[in-house]
Chains A and B, each alone.
Chain A
Amino acid sequence: MTANVPRRRSLAKVEGRQALGFATPALVGLALFTIVPVVLSVVMSFFDWPTFGEKTFIGIDNYIRLFTASPDFWPAMRNTAVFTILYVPLNVGLSLVLAMALGPRIRGRGALRVLFFIPVVTPMVANVLVWKMLLQPQGLFNGASESWFGVTLPNFLADPQWAMIMVVIMSVWQGVGYNMLIFSAALEQLPESVMEAARIDGASGLRMQLSIVVPMISPAVFFATIMTMITALQVFVQPQLLTGGGPGNATQPLVQFIYNQGFKFQELGLAAAGAWILFALIIVITALQFGAQKKWVHYEH
């Protein structure tokens, strides 16, 4: 027994070296393409860093400028918050209802799942083009409303209030299939014994869903909520293509603001500072969610 220990140790050492050898390319990639850019972006946020020309260290001035002097920053924060608050519950709720509705008794549920999943895999540009054709004043919705009811609909994408609602609706339509698939997978995995026990105890219908099914799939709901929240805070393509961030800055989210600062206004330092504020927001909100999960997420141990 005692003779085996040194041999094991040396074996572990050899394996450790081999593992390091295999991991090195990945580690180099991680360092070059993740760690270096991350560190650089932190450094950048403390500089007046034009895309070309002299770079000047200015401390936290970029952050101060964002919070006090940048006319579009607070609206961008507000828009991101509004989008997230509307989008996350709608997306998670609707996909949960869909997943539950497409239960084992539904005929052709596989085909229906595919239908709901299609917008997730279709390129966003194509989705946006279709929605634009539906929503513009000469589009399908207004045309149908005028000819059937004689009512002219608002200019959805050019009206400050409607534009954000339409960005949310289009995003929900686009993203609902993904969470639905996660919930469907979780529902398929429900332990039959627990369901059976609940049924024997007289649970059925809505009561069964709310008291038994939802708590049982709460880890999946938690995962979906976290991921959806993060993607909602990072929303960019939908407002960029559907409304151009307008009218005015009514639908410009934080990521589009960062993009404009960096690539259109060529203020990389300010853009980096904005990106770090977004990062901090995401971390704080995610941490809060992890903190709150003990109260409502049930893991089987």
Chain B
Amino acid sequence: MKKIRMGAVAAIAGVAVAMTGCAGSGGASGSGDDGTIVVDMWAGSADDTKALEAQIKIAQEQNPDLKIELRTAPWGDFFTKLTTNMASGNMACVTGMNSGMLSSYTDGFAELSAADLKTAGLAESDFAPGATEILKNKGTMYGLPFDVATMLVYFNADQLAASGAATPAPGWTFDDFEATAKAATSNGKAGFAVGMGDFQWQALPIAKAGLQPVSADGELQLTDKKFVEAATWYGDLVSAQKVALPVASASDTGWGENQYSSGNAAMAVDGTWNAVSYLANESGFAAGMAPLPSEGGESLSLILGSGFGISKTCENKEDALKVLGSLLSADAQDYIASSGRSYPARAESQPLYFESIDEKYRAQVEEVFTAAFENVQGQYVSDNWSKVGTYVQPQLVSVYNGQETMAKVLESAQQQFAN
């Protein structure tokens, strides 16, 4: 009997050890025992994954002694997965991060010092003005960006021409925007498509109000009078002015962008990261772009972007920094720029982006990008910023349908999520 008990205990212990081993080899710290550096990044399509693989290849060539492994998940799942990985101490050494999401994940990232940047072979001066602010939170740097972005108004030039609406151009005002949206609302098509994503719906209210819904020191200010007025105006585009279609469901997170892409709406707001795909859209319409309109001669826009940071739990920080450095090296950035995927964060690589654009659009893109990045401000976020987004998004549907006021939604979010 004793023997059997011992046997059972040994069996249980064996299984337990084996299971612990399994968990460990999954890369408890994102760097396996064989020194593999794991890079975790979002990728929503085969094209995204292919582009990331090309960058990993560059990093691999620059660090032949290291083994680099890429892991991906779609944008929506990436942050859920990241939360789980962080909670279980399983975060990849080099992890992708976005400016709007950083505040919820600072605990998982190692602070990057000047010495770290040196190890990575990078300098702040390599990047475009303002770019190193993208992955900073309350003055601490948690990562460096591979791209910079801002929000633009994209338009269906064919639809605008057919309805006789004026074409948006740099320097246009909110009055011009309204006039264009009204004129383009005809024949069952809407002049504008409202956004559901944080950046997509907030861009115009921020530009109109001239301020962000969070103060520079990280305090939530959703109930600021100017912002409430501008946001109310935005909701009224659907419910009062009727120049935009009401959203079909709160689960339609990419509503505005989809309406625009499928040719149901003449204008939509989206990031510069989608410029190329909109220009070469599958619906086949002639697309154009313009910076956000201005109010009283001023227009505020956010500088956004995504990049990579090093996880706090990474065992091979030095190797991880080298990989980070390679992923943001001139070669990798030139690749991003010349493939037209996004506007690179490295200043020297930025001209290559315009060269990648189809010649007939090149001048327009360069003019609009130059104008749009002229008056940008780093995004301010509060500690609970991602909760605000999660709360507000399903409420927006009620606002657009006229069942709830924007002021009430913003007030409720302010009450719940103010620091």
Contact = CB atoms under 8 A, between A and B. Distances in A.
Nearest to B404: A248
A11 to B, nearest CB: 15
Given A155-B246, A243-B250, A246-B250, A264 B401 contact: no
B161 interface: no
Specify which of A51, A159, A240, A252 lies most central, judged by the most chain B CB atoms within 10 Å of its CB.
A51
A110 interface: no
A160 interface: yes
Interface residues of B, number: 41
A266 interface: yes
Given A24-B11, A137-B246, A266 B83 contact: yes
A28 B15 contact: yes
7 contacts: A21-B4, A157-B248, A160-B398, A241-B251, A244-B250, A247-B250, A266-B83
A279 B103 CA distance: 33
B392 to A, nearest CB: 10
A24 B107 CA distance: 40
Nearest to B416: A71
Given A53-B107, A248-B404, A266-B83, A28 B12 contact: yes
B264 interface: yes
A248 B246 contact: no
Contacts of A158: 246-250, 397-398, 400-401
Interface residues of A, number: 40
A157 B246 CA distance: 11
A25 interface: yes
B19 A32 contact: yes
B104 interface: yes
Contacts, number: 115
Given A20-B8, A132-B249, A247 B87 contact: no
A52 interface: yes
Contacts of A264: 80, 386-387, 390
Given A32-B16, A52-B87, A137-B245, A246 B80 contact: no
B393 interface: yes
Given A17-B4, A28-B12, A159-B401, 18 more contacts: A17-B1, A24-B8, A25-B11, A28-B11, A53-B107, A136-B248, A137-B248, A138-B264, A157-B250, A160-B398, A243-B249, A244-B249, A244-B251, A244-B393, A247-B401, A247-B404, A248-B398, A265-B390
A245 interface: yes
A137 B252 CA distance: 13
A249 interface: yes
Contact of B249 (A32, A71, A246, A248): A246
